[in-house]
Structure 1
């Protein structure tokens, strides 16, 4: 490998690594000091900039606008880019064409698996199995690192007690003790015991802080609570993740004590660094910095200064730090030392990841061929899914189903492989996920007959269904009337011994910007269940959901209910 860093940096790296008497912290300080001393103010500010990569086309990366910024040292990392080949091409621009030769860090929302997707985090929490949860993060890190990623925006440890909030699906529920233990397990799974290994990735704990306590469950809404409640109920999972060694943390969108978290010095410095001793770096959420402008906190230059003073180190997408800090230094509004402090923390993260030793360590295309979405990982995803399911009711011991006779399978989620991975499964292979229909047919092959009908659409409102199935998670809407769909389902139900209804929410009815005022099963699906109950056949409701749902009617009328959340690639 022929990679050229600053000559002095190369010398320091070689000497520091070959000197057994110097500890890891001392060696890191020497290397980072040497780099900082040779950087211009603009290059230091560039390290604080984290834009979204979009889709680079392999072979054309150097012709893009982002490439020009990378060559000028104006970017410290990228996110939303995958595959070892693409990332290698972009990394090459940084380490071979920029003046500083400083490698980039590459992030992605690896939330509950990479291409082998595990149950949504809320579902994982229902397993109460910390080793299992840690293992899911370990496999996610193995796959992501094999495909070029070295930083994940996970775990999300926000405590939430309002099921209307869409992002409740991404957390571990309402209990601070369980949430804290899962936070630790996820950090261990991602980072392992050697962050410099090529199969571990840096975790980013989010959303700091109190994001899950938004008023009325409305995403991005105000958070207002006493410090007593903060420290006892909402802050513990963040601290647990920090205590476990999480390398980075993401500031939340909401206010804390009336001040946006992105520029809240009490939160980012007094608590995080002084009380808890956090040594990593803090990144904003997507455009979190410039969104403070709309809240009357100042113009871009003002909010950038306030955020940096508060303890923010990296700006995701806004480019407020990139475009204003140099001028603010000249005007005396911020000091270069404050920029040095933030830049140092970014460089330290890259050092801990081993990128100064080998910037291409995550870019081995051969690893991805064997380590991503392989049979062993999918088998573990399938096993994990079964341990996340929650049996809510089993009147008459209908479950487990007998492998004989005829089974009617109905419902909008029955043949919906694109929805099985749930929300925030950005790297998933939707078309290769296992639907309930496919899984049931395989399990009963040669033993029992599966009769299928869709029965209903997700919702009578086509616009609602379109919104709930975005990002390629289609339910293949049926243009027939609700009555026609129900009648078809009733006809096959009459020929069956038992009816299985796969119903509930679509994958994107929960997640970011997916708050709901009505957390019941959509009416058209309930009408289908009512019609099926009238046949007199035993009915099993297989409930897909990203949140706790209000199931009063279902619990009173449906004999068997199993909550399967969104179980991942192997859900079916």
Structure 2
């Protein structure tokens, strides 16, 4: 895959604001059609458009509802024959012939499964995200799906939260860039393209900040932090032309998102000019009763519609309660009409009125060779090399035997990761299979799993695995998490390897043979002990269908690792939340503090240093954001700024030399961080502002350029105004968020 153009990444978020949405609200032809159709609709037909149901077995019952105009969208129907049958009823037998919008969760692939989104984010390559979404859309649309509930662009800084797997990690900028790329991939150049699928950025908004990392939990995000950290990825998605948005489950500061007028009307509609469809999450409307925000279904419908929700997913309060609310004047007919306009607008943009049916012969695109190749490239670029003592990787020609051990070596279902409704595990290529295919007769492959699955606590096979592994030159230990351990409602308080996997690694280490640990998981795990016992560690957030061949290529050097951590890896759970873009505090850690085991007896109360750190964990994480090794080495030098003094409308140009100082061709993800030293409110110690992938041959040196408009240093200040405040700034060009030489510049007037 060719290197993504630096300026394309750098300017992506500013350019998407200029994106022309095909069939935009300024498209008078579509607007006239909407008004003409709306004028003919009964109240029941309008409410039907606002009603989304989940498919069930009895097609006759669903057809009856559709014929009466009581359904606007159907979830989870993936048989193109049934899709066409239901659509035929809508178009040919209902009074107004309004097509039904078919929807499905297609998070990181339909049939061909790409790495989970957190893994895609580890590539720091928006082309990976766009290509993954494009393949997913091509395959899903072949089954009749024209709407999916992705990308998930919740900024998430707590790996206990299972849904961190679905997003792009902890950073606002990285999430914004990758999310916008996914929107483009799903929707193609035009929504009317039969292979386009309407994107639905979720969960709007703040869901990733759930207290305690526990799903569906409350959040408390003040408006300034909401605007500076959590809203920007959604604004980028809106500017990229996202057709729809989904409200989140959480309440923030006591207000559930599904009933939050501020985010749905003031921000999304008025500030950003969004004219698409807003849908609830699954039953999140009726769940406002559980929140204690609505007393009954009638109040649910009133608050959700008045807040700006257009379509209700499966909880049916709109169709049941809105007629009475309308009579009572608690909901205005204008609000219902506006919701229906937004729904019809998306159906027109998708071309459903002109081309409602799916070509049932298109299913041949599933698992196309080009799709599998793209999935493999994504898995290669997503893998992160965390440790490589004495250059054990890539495995050399002198290695004549390897032991393949661990519960994830041959786990075709779990390798796919969370949120895979339609992937076929029989199509998955596991590491064990790929290794055998790659090495053939040249290397003896000794397979002894030791544990049956990741949570397996039965250690009867551990000794057997260690004995078998002792016969090999190198041990390849595949550990991690089953797919079910991450994703929605799959949160953990303990992030250590589950089951007896720690004991397995310990037993393998005792053989004296080098252990290469490969982790496949849906989140960062606390693997410090395993890292110590391993000669090398390769981390692959669940890598999907082609994860096996990608990992085999990486282990034997047919590919070189280039992934970077999209989220901070904690040493232990007690450090959470731990993320790089934190505020400094009044007493920042110096990294010279006295730690627990070094405290002298009867030490004085203030003798340890009164700074912000943990006595048992220190201050630093296990691995910082943006970290990842290669089989080669890179040297940064000659960093230059176009000016040390700039105005608010200037563009700062940063140039530097990047040289491959090792013996392998490799790709480095160069990163640009900035700090606003003094603000009207405290600012993070570092913020990612640019990144790019640079591929270099051994000994090759390139001059790399980042362009950063000073306008992108704006933040929501003490007066809740988004502005660039004059003052002193620091800048780093670095391979990760903890490295790089500090440089300074000033913004004036």
TM-score, length-scaled by structure 2: 0.68
**2:657: which partner in 1?**
none
> Per the alignment, in what secondary structure is the counterpart of residue 227 of structure 2?
helix
**1:48: which partner in 2?**
50
> Per the alignment, in what secondary structure is the counterpart of residue 484 of structure 2?
helix
Which aligned pairs between 1:100-499 and structure 2 lie closer than 5 A?
A: 100-296=96-292, 297-360=294-357, 363-369=358-364, 371-402=365-396, 404-458=399-453, 481-482=458-459, 484-499=460-475
**1:469: which partner in 2?**
none
Q: 1:289 to 1:338 in 2, by over 3 A?
A: same
For 2:47 and 2:395, the matched residues in 1 are separated by 61
> Per the alignment, in what secondary structure is the counterpart of residue 450 of structure 1?
strand
For 2:319 and 2:441, the matched residues in 1 are separated by 64
RCO (CA 8 Å, sep 6+): is it higher in 1 or 2? 1
Q: Tell whether the 8 Å contact from 1:422 to 1:507 is kept in structure 2 after alignment.
A: yes
Q: 1:243 to 1:129 in 2, by over 3 A?
A: same
For 2:317 and 2:519, the matched residues in 1 are separated by 44
Q: Tell whether the 8 Å contact from 2:407 to 2:479 is kept in structure 1 after alignment.
A: yes
Instruction: Tell me how large the CA RMSD over aligned residues is.
Output: 1.5
**1:33: which partner in 2?**
35
For 1:100 and 1:262, the matched residues in 2 are separated by 30
For 1:541 and 1:440, the matched residues in 2 are separated by 15
Q: Specify which of 486, 509, 512 is matched with residue 533 of structure 1.
A: 509
Hey, which bits of structure 1, 4+ residues long, moved more than 3 A?
A: 457-462
For 2:376 and 2:31, the matched residues in 1 are separated by 44
Q: Specify which of 529, 540, 543 is matched with residue 553 of structure 1.
A: 529
Q: Tell whether the 8 Å contact from 1:184 to 1:241 is kept in structure 2 after alignment.
A: yes
For 1:554 and 1:269, the matched residues in 2 are separated by 49
Q: 1:461 to 1:438 in 2, by over 3 A?
A: closer
Aligned pair 1:519/2:495, yes or no?
Answer: yes
CA apart distance, 1:332: 2.1
Which deviations, in whole Å up to 9, do the C-alpha atoms of 1:189-221 show, x marking residues without a partner?
111221111111110010000000001101011
Which deviations, in whole Å up to 9, do the C-alpha atoms of 1:453-487 show, x marking residues without a partner?
1112445668xxxxxxxxxxxxxxxxxx41x2112
Higher mean C-alpha displacement, 235-244 vs 371-380: 371-380
> Per the alignment, in what secondary structure is the counterpart of residue 542 of structure 1?
strand
Q: Tell whether the 8 Å contact from 1:420 to 1:434 is kept in structure 2 after alignment.
A: no
Unaligned runs of 5+ in 2: 1-23, 549-749
Which deviations, in whole Å up to 9, do the C-alpha atoms of 1:135-166 show, x marking residues without a partner?
11111111111221111100000000011110
For 2:287 and 2:71, the matched residues in 1 are separated by 21
For 1:415 and 1:555, the matched residues in 2 are separated by 22
CA apart distance, 1:275: 1.0
Q: 1:451 to 1:96 in 2, by over 3 A?
A: same
CA apart distance, 1:175: 0.7
> Per the alignment, in what secondary structure is the counterpart of residue 513 of structure 1?
coil
Q: Tell whether the 8 Å contact from 2:25 to 2:31 is kept in structure 1 after alignment.
A: no
Q: Tell whether the 8 Å contact from 2:519 to 2:540 is kept in structure 1 after alignment.
A: yes
For 2:291 and 2:137, the matched residues in 1 are separated by 37
Between Structure 1 and Structure 2, which shows a larger proportion of helix residues?
1
Q: 1:172 to 1:459 in 2, by over 3 A?
A: closer
> Per the alignment, in what secondary structure is the counterpart of residue 355 of structure 1?
coil
> Per the alignment, in what secondary structure is the counterpart of residue 540 of structure 1?
strand
Which deviations, in whole Å up to 9, do the C-alpha atoms of 1:512-560 show, x marking residues without a partner?
0011000111251000110111110110111011111112212222111
Q: Tell whether the 8 Å contact from 1:329 to 1:336 is kept in structure 2 after alignment.
A: yes
The alignment of Structure 1 onto Structure 2 pairs a total of residues equal to: 523
Q: Tell whether the 8 Å contact from 2:483 to 2:522 is kept in structure 1 after alignment.
A: yes
For 1:429 and 1:117, the matched residues in 2 are separated by 9
Q: Tell whether the 8 Å contact from 1:504 to 1:544 is kept in structure 2 after alignment.
A: yes
For 2:454 and 2:394, the matched residues in 1 are separated by 29
**1:93: which partner in 2?**
89
Higher mean C-alpha displacement, 430-439 vs 280-289: 430-439
For 1:507 and 1:154, the matched residues in 2 are separated by 19
Which deviations, in whole Å up to 9, do the C-alpha atoms of 1:341-385 show, x marking residues without a partner?
10111001000000111211xx1011111x221111111101110
For 1:48 and 1:344, the matched residues in 2 are separated by 10
For 1:378 and 1:514, the matched residues in 2 are separated by 28
Q: 1:186 to 1:368 in 2, by over 3 A?
A: same
Q: 1:136 to 1:461 in 2, by over 3 A?
A: closer
CA apart distance, 1:225: 1.7
For 1:496 and 1:208, the matched residues in 2 are separated by 51
> Per the alignment, in what secondary structure is the counterpart of residue 544 of structure 1?
strand
TM-score, length-scaled by structure 1: 0.89
For 1:225 and 1:137, the matched residues in 2 are separated by 30
For 1:522 and 1:110, the matched residues in 2 are separated by 28
CA apart distance, 1:167: 0.3
For 1:210 and 1:172, the matched residues in 2 are separated by 14
CA apart distance, 1:134: 1.0
For 1:170 and 1:436, the matched residues in 2 are separated by 23
Q: 1:250 to 1:47 in 2, by over 3 A?
A: same
Higher mean C-alpha displacement, 221-230 vs 449-458: 449-458
For 1:391 and 1:109, the matched residues in 2 are separated by 31
**2:683: which partner in 1?**
none
Q: Which has the larger radius of gyration?
A: 2
For 2:76 and 2:374, the matched residues in 1 are separated by 26
Between Structure 1 and Structure 2, which shows a larger proportion of strand residues?
2
> Per the alignment, in what secondary structure is the counterpart of residue 98 of structure 2?
coil
